[in-house]
Chain A
Amino acid sequence: MKGSLRTRLTRMGRRAMAYWRRDQLHRELEEELAFHLEQIEAGEGGSGLAQFGNATLAREECREMWSYMSLERILQDLRYAVRMYRRTPAFTAVSILSLALGIGGTAAMLSLVNSLLLRPLPYSHPERLLRITGIFPRAGVRYFQEQSRTMEVAAVSAGSDFNLTGSGSAVRITGSRASPNFLSVLGTSVAMGRSFRPGEETPGRDSVVIISHDLWRDRFASDPTVLGRVIQIDGVGREVVGIMPAGFAYPSAQGRIWIPMRLDPSNFVEYWGTEFVPLIGRLRDGATPGEARQEVPPLVAQFRGTFPYPMARDWNADSTAIPLQQDILGDSRGKLIILLSSVALVLLIACANVASLLLSRATTRRREIALRAALGAGQMRIVRQLLTESVGLALAGAVFGVLLGTAALAIFKSLLPRSLPGLEPIAIDWQIVAAAGVLALLTGVISGLAPALSAAQVDLARTIKTGSQKASSGFWTRVRGLLVAGEVALTIVLLVSAGLLLRSLYQLSQVDLGFDPAHVLTVQVSPNPSYCTQRDRCIALYDRLVERAAGIAGVRAAAAANAVPLDGQLPLIPVNVEDYPKTVDHPAPMLWFGAVSPEYFGVLRIPLLAGRYLTRADNARASAVAVVSAAAAKHFWPNQNAVGKHIKASSGQDWRTVVGVVGDVRQYSLSQGLPSFVGGALYVPYSQAAGEDGRMPAAMTLLAGVGSEDLRVANAFRQLAVEQDPNVPVGRAQALEEMVTGSIGDFRSTMRVFLGFAASAILLAAVGIYGLMSYWVSQRLYEIALRVAMGASRRRILSLILGQGLQVTALGMLAGILAALALTRFLAALLYQVAATDFLTYAMVVGVVSGVAVLATAFPAWRAARVDPLKSLRAE
């Protein structure tokens, strides 16, 4: 029945109407037919019509015509499916739950991957945005802006902390320095006010700031008159010129302010040293990413030649231009892919499980299906009915899955850095719900196809005649065995991954930190940098704070330091070393720079290896001294005594005498200690400290060794710092142990998620094995009874079934081990001191899976061994 679009629409409309008054339609049809038949009998109308045809058929055809047949049939199938679900609640619950787990997890991961990896950045023509890899001094910003023919270049610093004072209580916020063109290069604009103007990078014109929507809302109550107002950032008055739209998060989600990056060639240290910055570029019209990639290395090489001090020959030698989105994601990209694959594995396992369960049910339903076939249901009809059942299960799974997915999304999000732009607003949206729906349809069809096909192959006559439910063909039993084996294999992959991460975590927990974080409290005190232009004032402040902190009841000792281990900071200083020749490749070695009060080593229990610790006598007026870490000593003076040698900051004038060597400390990361380009640590007395720019670090962390980290001491400790100066932001008191744990927090949660995956996988596999074996036993009751009747011992039967179950498991394990060996390589970046092929992990996993397999087989085997031969034989 075709027709023009209009006719088709009419038809649809009428059918919809008919649905509500179909009883009337049927009545009218009946009446009409009755009239017709009457007329025939009466022989009226002259022509004498004879009864011609079949009234019932006419009735049915008319009814069909008015209904959405396909829809009605689906509804009918669904009603029937629901009846089946009710009859087997355990099966239904297991299937729906496992599919919900798989679909929910996959939906959550898909929403992450979609938002972070696939969806273009929220800027205009995001495909034309590039990042020039490596970091460059500010001079490089100007150089690339002037020299690049393929890109318009901007710089946005990665972000550092600033004091916001004078508007409410003093707070510490994260902000970036940016070249004035950064918004136009990114391809976005302020929501209110204006962007930076060209020229605002020059000193004297740079007292402006753009604030984030969050800051505007939280600190300024969304008051638009904040535009034009001057606010105090690090003690410098800056006029608020722009407010960014909500959701703008470059370079990080934590960014609250953007200030112009000053480009001042007359300020040598700032222009060529201190903070190196990343460069981003927007392709000029007509330029291609390939051209940009080709342009970068020669530009970097030329720029290297313009440095006023020697630069390593290999400095930024591998610089190139990569898509900005890839740069923003960084390491998270690999993690996303690993997580998505793992959660997809769980879904696959769930699929295999449901397929296997359905397959066994299809066999036990052979009689019912044969009956339906006998009553005239075509093969397609039966396949469709069974597919409806599995798709229905999957759809129910999807509904629960989307609910689960919301929770899963929160967990997955915690595995990625919080600073990742665009991460926070990600939620399960309608797209993902639609994707979950499609996933459900797919899983339904995939898991239902084999069972449906197997059921449709019913040999009518035989099944009904014998009345037996066990005339299942060997082929489908083998398919089922393979499904379960596949489940076991996938489970092994997930278990091995979880095991490797668990081992890594254990290794990390065994790392020698080089200090003792137990019973140490920390609190960050951050006066404006200008506060320390008068060195005496700053020294006095921290002397006072340390002294008072030590006086708090319950505090054993107190110290101050510019950075504490594992707090995320990486203070570095390029140094010159006596007797250590500079080479073209290593012109200025980098060291971790610790400006510490003498009590620092005692509070953290960092061991002394040679010479002496710093003391109170090493003050501003005493001769310049330093303590180096064992790594630095070994690096610069191998096989010599470091004590008595001399070292100085590259930018400074005075040589320092090394007075002691202390143990190495995991300052930056638990796994690595310090980045590979850092040769060790240099500690100087705070009162003598001068950073690369010659100034002393203003923001310091107070440390207190305490008897126990109780709240009262922590509060008193923090209060002390707050009372010193209300204009100085004070962070929260934090236990050092908490910071150590926090530094591997995302690793821990990654491992937990994998453990979750592995646990659900093994549970599903256990259900799969159990289901397979129970089914196998029920199919062979007759045979088993016969064996028992002929004298087979119960132990013989037990081992027969166990052997059967373990055979399937062993096959799966073998495949799983091979797959794991091939796949866990991709996990290598997440592992710590564990090979991806770690034998112990594999052995344990095989042990666990075997154990679970034995348990899952034991119950059906036990049942088989207790078969009463008389009863079973008679039943057949």
Chain B
Amino acid sequence: MGASKRTSELLPGTLDLLILRSLVSGPKHGYAIASRLKQVSDEVLQVGESSLYPALQRLLLNGWVKAEWGASENNRRARYYSLTASGKKQLVLERDEFARMVEAIQKVLSMA
């Protein structure tokens, strides 16, 4: 299926997790998600539209987020994404999985 991932330097699948996490605090549009990620990560995570929007579509397709059109801060039409119930479940799942992964990587890195 032509869904090859282009998540720049991110670990594969991490972007989905990050997006889901950023939506916990409430619905956001795409630009806001990207800004939020950049800001919170002290500008380490720069997500471009070529990875962001396919990732959002993927989440939509899987039913983990839903999208609604609304007005932006400057009163323009923007698409707002919010978590669905199964999206929340998925977030927990992926988070645990990620934690396990990080732990494993750290174990490897810190081996004698």
- B3–chain A nearest beta-carbon distance, Å: 5
Question: Per DSSP, are chain A's interface residues mostly helix, strand or loop, or mixed?
Answer: helix
CA distance A717 to B19 in the complex (A): 99
CA distance A269 to B91 in the complex (A): 93
B14 at the A interface (CB under 8 A): no
CA distance A267 to B62 in the complex (A): 85
Contact for A32 among B4, B35, B53, B73, CB less than 8 A: B53
Contact for B29 among A29, A35, A49, A50, CB less than 8 A: A35
B75 at the A interface (CB under 8 A): no
Q: List which B62-91 residues lie within 8 A (CB) of chain A.
A: 62-63, 69, 72-74, 76-79, 86
CA distance A452 to B109 in the complex (A): 50
Give the residues in chain A near B46, CB-CB below 8 Å. 49-50, 52
Give the residues in chain B near A55, CB-CB below 8 Å. 49-50
A31 at the B interface (CB under 8 A): yes
Is the beta-carbon distance between B57 and A62 smaller than 8 angstroms? yes
A61 at the B interface (CB under 8 A): yes
CA distance A32 to B68 in the complex (A): 11
Is the beta-carbon distance between A52 and B79 smaller than 8 angstroms? no
Contact for B54 among A47, A51, A65, A69, CB less than 8 A: A65
Is the beta-carbon distance between B49 and A36 smaller than 8 angstroms? yes
Is the beta-carbon distance between A47 and B35 smaller than 8 angstroms? yes
Give the residues in chain A near B43, CB-CB below 8 Å. 47
Using known A-B contacts A1-B1, A32-B79, determine if residue A53 contacts B38 with beta carbons closer than 8 Å: no
Give the residues in chain A near B79, CB-CB below 8 Å. 28, 31-32, 35
CA distance A7 to B72 in the complex (A): 31
A3 at the B interface (CB under 8 A): yes
Per-position binary interface string of chain A over residues 352-388, scored 1 when its CB falls under 8 Å from any chain B CB and 0 otherwise:
0000000000000000000000000000000000000
Give the residues in chain A near B49, CB-CB below 8 Å. 33, 36-37, 51-53, 55, 58
Give the residues in chain B near A29, CB-CB below 8 Å. 53, 57
CA distance A64 to B62 in the complex (A): 14
CA distance A42 to B75 in the complex (A): 14
- A53–chain B nearest beta-carbon distance, Å: 3
The stretch of A10-18, A329-337, A583-591, A818-826 that contacts the partner chain: A10-18
Give the residues in chain B near A51, CB-CB below 8 Å. 48-49
Which residue of chain A has the shortest Cβ distance to B38 in the bound complex?
A47
CA distance A157 to B4 in the complex (A): 73
B32 at the A interface (CB under 8 A): yes
Is the beta-carbon distance between A1 and B53 smaller than 8 angstroms? no
Which residue of chain A has the shortest Cβ distance to B3 in the bound complex?
A1
Using known A-B contacts A55-B49, A61-B50, determine if residue A39 contacts B63 with beta carbons closer than 8 Å: no
Is the beta-carbon distance between B61 and A65 smaller than 8 angstroms? yes
Give the residues in chain A near B72, CB-CB below 8 Å. 35
- A34–chain B nearest beta-carbon distance, Å: 10
A198 at the B interface (CB under 8 A): no
CA distance A28 to B48 in the complex (A): 18
Give the residues in chain B near A70, CB-CB below 8 Å. 1
A46 at the B interface (CB under 8 A): yes
CA distance A45 to B49 in the complex (A): 16
Interface-centre pick from A6, A7, A31, A36 (highest chain B CB count, 10 A): A36
Is the beta-carbon distance between A61 and B63 smaller than 8 angstroms? no
CA distance A625 to B32 in the complex (A): 120
Give the residues in chain B near A10, CB-CB below 8 Å. 61-63
Is the beta-carbon distance between B58 and A65 smaller than 8 angstroms? yes
- A319–chain B nearest beta-carbon distance, Å: 65
Which residue of chain A has the shortest Cβ distance to B54 in the bound complex?
A61
CA distance A46 to B43 in the complex (A): 12
Q: How many B residues, CB 8 Å from partner? A: 38
A44 at the B interface (CB under 8 A): yes
Contact for B50 among A3, A32, A39, A57, CB less than 8 A: A57
Contact for B3 among A28, A50, A64, CB less than 8 A: A64
CA distance A873 to B7 in the complex (A): 58
Contact for B31 among A14, A45, A61, CB less than 8 A: A45
Is the beta-carbon distance between A47 and B39 smaller than 8 angstroms? yes
Is the beta-carbon distance between B31 and A39 smaller than 8 angstroms? yes
Q: How many A residues, CB 8 Å from partner? A: 40
Give the residues in chain B near A49, CB-CB below 8 Å. 31, 34-35, 38, 46
Give the residues in chain B near A58, CB-CB below 8 Å. 49-54
Interface-centre pick from A3, A11, A15, A49 (highest chain B CB count, 10 A): A49
Using known A-B contacts A47-B38, A54-B50, determine if residue A64 contacts B31 with beta carbons closer than 8 Å: no
Interface-centre pick from A37, A47, A70 (highest chain B CB count, 10 A): A47
A66 at the B interface (CB under 8 A): yes
Give the residues in chain B near A3, CB-CB below 8 Å. 62
B47 at the A interface (CB under 8 A): yes
Is the beta-carbon distance between B61 and A15 smaller than 8 angstroms? yes
Which residue of chain A has the shortest Cβ distance to B69 in the bound complex?
A28
B30 at the A interface (CB under 8 A): yes
- B24–chain A nearest beta-carbon distance, Å: 19
B2 at the A interface (CB under 8 A): yes
- B8–chain A nearest beta-carbon distance, Å: 8
Which residue of chain B has the shortest Cβ distance to A38 in the bound complex?
B76
Is the beta-carbon distance between A64 and B78 smaller than 8 angstroms? no
Contact for B57 among A50, A52, A54, A65, CB less than 8 A: A65
Is the beta-carbon distance between B39 and A46 smaller than 8 angstroms? yes
Which residue of chain B has the shortest Cβ distance to A42 in the bound complex?
B74
Q: List which A57-87 residues lie within 8 A (CB) of chain B.
A: 57-58, 61-62, 64-66, 69-70
CA distance A58 to B49 in the complex (A): 7
- B30–chain A nearest beta-carbon distance, Å: 6
Which residue of chain B has the shortest Cβ distance to A58 in the bound complex?
B50
Which residue of chain B has the shortest Cβ distance to A64 in the bound complex?
B2
CA distance A14 to B54 in the complex (A): 15
Give the residues in chain A near B34, CB-CB below 8 Å. 36, 49
CA distance A61 to B61 in the complex (A): 13
Give the residues in chain B near A6, CB-CB below 8 Å. 86
Is the beta-carbon distance between A11 and B53 smaller than 8 angstroms? no
Q: List which B1-44 residues lie within 8 A (CB) of chain A.
A: 1-4, 6, 29-32, 34-35, 38-39, 43
Is the beta-carbon distance between A36 and B50 smaller than 8 angstroms? no
Is the beta-carbon distance between B31 and A36 smaller than 8 angstroms? yes
CA distance A57 to B52 in the complex (A): 11
Which residue of chain B has the shortest Cβ distance to A73 in the bound complex?
B2
Give the residues in chain A near B57, CB-CB below 8 Å. 29, 61-62, 65-66
Given contacts A10-B62, A42-B74, A66-B61, 19 further A-B contacts (CB under 8 A): A3-B62, A11-B62, A14-B60, A15-B61, A29-B53, A32-B53, A32-B78, A35-B31, A35-B77, A36-B30, A44-B74, A45-B31, A45-B32, A49-B35, A51-B49, A58-B49, A61-B4, A62-B54, A64-B3
30 sample A-B contacts, Cβ–Cβ < 8 Å, listed by A number: A1-B1, A3-B62, A14-B61, A28-B69, A31-B79, A33-B53, A35-B79, A36-B49, A39-B31, A42-B74, A44-B74, A45-B35, A46-B39, A47-B38, A49-B31, A49-B35, A49-B46, A52-B47, A52-B48, A53-B49, A53-B51, A58-B50, A61-B2, A61-B4, A61-B6, A61-B50, A62-B53, A65-B2, A65-B54, A66-B57
Closest 3 CB pairs of A and B: A53-B48, A52-B48, A53-B50
